[in-house]
Amino acid sequence: MKPLHSNRGSTIRSILTGILIGLVLAVTFVSGFYFRDILGIPSLRVSAGSPEREGYPLLDEVQMLLDRIYLREQPTYAARQYAAIRGVLATLEDPNTFFIEPPVAQSEADVLAGTYGGIGVLLQRNEAGEFVMYPFPDSPAANAGIVDGAILVAINGQVIQLIDAPDVVDQKLRGEVKPGSGVEITVSQGETEFTVFIEFAEINVPSVLWRVLEEDPAIGYTQILRFTSRTPEELQTAINELKAVNIQALVLDLRNNSGGLLEESIAVASMFLDGGVVTYEVTQDSERVLEAQRGGGMTDLPLVVLVNNHTASASELVAGAIRDRERGILIGQRTFGKGTVQQIFVISDGSSVHITSAEWFTPERVPLAGVGLAPNIEMIPDINGRDVELGEAIRYLQNELMAVESGNE
């Protein structure tokens, strides 16, 4: 039998040997990373940090690695920042919250004022999702040979995708007016496709068009292209001129109206509604009731509102109020369903970000976002381009006027 102290000594030696080996391995492990750094050998071990920390520490770590070892030249710092911002916003899965680079962002306020720098086209999406261009008379686009119905294929070499938001595509055709500023577009017209550079110019766009219908001089027609700061004044002029020629009914065309300014849309609704609720605006922590003013100039004549699947945002707000308040009927197709409010913030370098901050509901508290408005009379668009919606509106209003005359006899 071996003495107890011999076993104890052997155990102590084993422990000391284990500790020594552990220290050697630890030093070797640490020094391996240390000398890899000195020799320029990259380490794949990166401190993960906490994904829940304020700020973006993981992004900083990735950028540090790119700065140390990336083989090729990196994009500009601004371009990398813009890409990161778009990535963050994409996680929200809200197509109406988006980022716009300068100098395009600088034109946004001018667009809503009815004047902007650009090539001067109205963009509309067709059934296939393509962007169809309609140049304004004497605009840079028209002077460059763009004709009504041309398909926009690419902007500055970037092919247009079906998922691209219309507002974003439209903004890429705008910019600061200065020598040499412009945009290169690729266009498909009939059997030909060509690329042309078009310089920006100052574009003045009326937001309201109006006329007496040739089909029936008792019916007036007014179209609101977009709700800008000039829209209420222009619409009032239209109403005054149409009433001066004794129209007896009105068609309000909101087809392809993508929206615009909120307060101006309330002012427009006030011309057709004699007071009362226009919409409910709901935010994170509050609800606001937006009401029409009394004394509008077109609160009594029979009214039809034309809508389609490009009727969106503020135009849906007006159409929804007229429908729910039974002031008139909607004819056309279900509207787009953009019942949300975006606030626009200009950030430090002149770019801007649109952030969804509220949601709209009709007077009957029907949601608009993602749903849209169902028309009272639904129409299938004519494949040959005939305006069947306007034709139906004329027939409806003529019947209404006949009923009024019969009731007065």
* CATH number of the domain encompassing residue 389: 3.90.226.10
User: Do 165 and 216 belong to one domain?
Assistant: no
| 311: DSSP letter | -
pLDDT at position 16 is 41
More confident: 136 or 238: 238
Structural domain contains residue 63 = no
CA 93 distance to own-chain centroid: 13
For residues 340-347, average pLDDT: 85
Confidence tier at 105 by pLDDT (50, 70, 90): low
pLDDT at position 87 is 92
CATH code (residue 139)? 2.30.42.10
Q: Which helix (H) or strand (E) holds 181?
A: none
CA 382 distance to own-chain centroid: 27
Whether 23 has a pLDDT exceeding 50, the answer reads no
**CB distance 141 to 135 below 8 Å:** yes
User: Do 236 and 363 belong to one domain?
Assistant: yes
Whether 65 has a pLDDT exceeding 90, the answer reads yes
User: Do 370 and 297 belong to one domain?
Assistant: yes
How many domains is the chain partitioned into structurally?
2
Structural domain contains residue 223 = yes
What's the chain's Rg over C-alpha atoms? 31
Distance CA 55, CA 57 (A): 6
User: Could you tell me where the DSSP H helices lie in 91-217?
Assistant: 108-112, 140-143, 166-171
pLDDT at position 248 is 97
CA 378 distance to own-chain centroid: 26
Structural domain contains residue 110 = no
User: Do 159 and 249 belong to one domain?
Assistant: no
Structural domain contains residue 88 = no
Structural domain contains residue 66 = no
pLDDT at position 102 is 75
Helix axes 262-272, 314-324, angle to 10 degrees: 30
Q: Which helix (H) or strand (E) holds 269?
A: helix 262-272
Give residue 287's domain range.
Answer: 208-408
For residues 221-249, average pLDDT: 94
User: Do 273 and 170 belong to one domain?
Assistant: no
Distance CA 296, CA 49 (A): 61
Whether 29 has a pLDDT exceeding 60, the answer reads no
Residue 394, classed as helix, strand or coil, is helix
User: Do 261 and 151 belong to one domain?
Assistant: no
pLDDT in tens, 71-87: 999 999 888 999 999 99
User: Do 359 and 234 belong to one domain?
Assistant: yes
User: Do 191 and 266 belong to one domain?
Assistant: no
Q: Which helix (H) or strand (E) holds 188?
A: strand 182-189
In sequence order, the 6+-apart residues with CB closer than 8 A to the CB of 362 are 279, 280, 317, 320, 321, 323, 324, 368, 373
Distances (CA, A) of 254 to 189, 265, 276, 339: 27, 12, 21, 15
pLDDT at position 110 is 58
Whether 28 has a pLDDT exceeding 90, the answer reads no
User: Do 291 and 341 belong to one domain?
Assistant: yes
Last residue of a domain, one of 203, 236, 266: 203
For residues 93-98, average pLDDT: 87
Distance CA 402, CA 56 (A): 68
Last residue of a domain, one of 203, 223, 250: 203
Structural domain contains residue 40 = no
| 383: DSSP letter | T
Of 104-113, 171-180, 287-296, 347-356, where does the model show the most confidence? Answer: 287-296
Whether 217 has a pLDDT exceeding 70, the answer reads yes
Whether 193 has a pLDDT exceeding 90, the answer reads yes
Is the pTM for the entire model greater than 0.75?
no
Confidence tier at 364 by pLDDT (50, 70, 90): very high
Structural domain contains residue 265 = yes
Last residue of a domain, one of 203, 227, 246: 203
pLDDT at position 2 is 41
User: Do 310 and 169 belong to one domain?
Assistant: no
Structural domain contains residue 373 = yes
Whether 296 has a pLDDT exceeding 70, the answer reads yes
Distance CA 212, CA 244 (A): 11
Whether 5 has a pLDDT exceeding 70, the answer reads no
User: Do 265 and 404 belong to one domain?
Assistant: yes
Confidence tier at 50 by pLDDT (50, 70, 90): very low
**In sequence order, what are the beta bridge partners of 3?**
none
**CB distance 136 to 217 below 8 Å:** no
Distance CA 341, CA 320 (A): 16
**CB distance 150 to 133 below 8 Å:** yes
User: Do 158 and 185 belong to one domain?
Assistant: yes
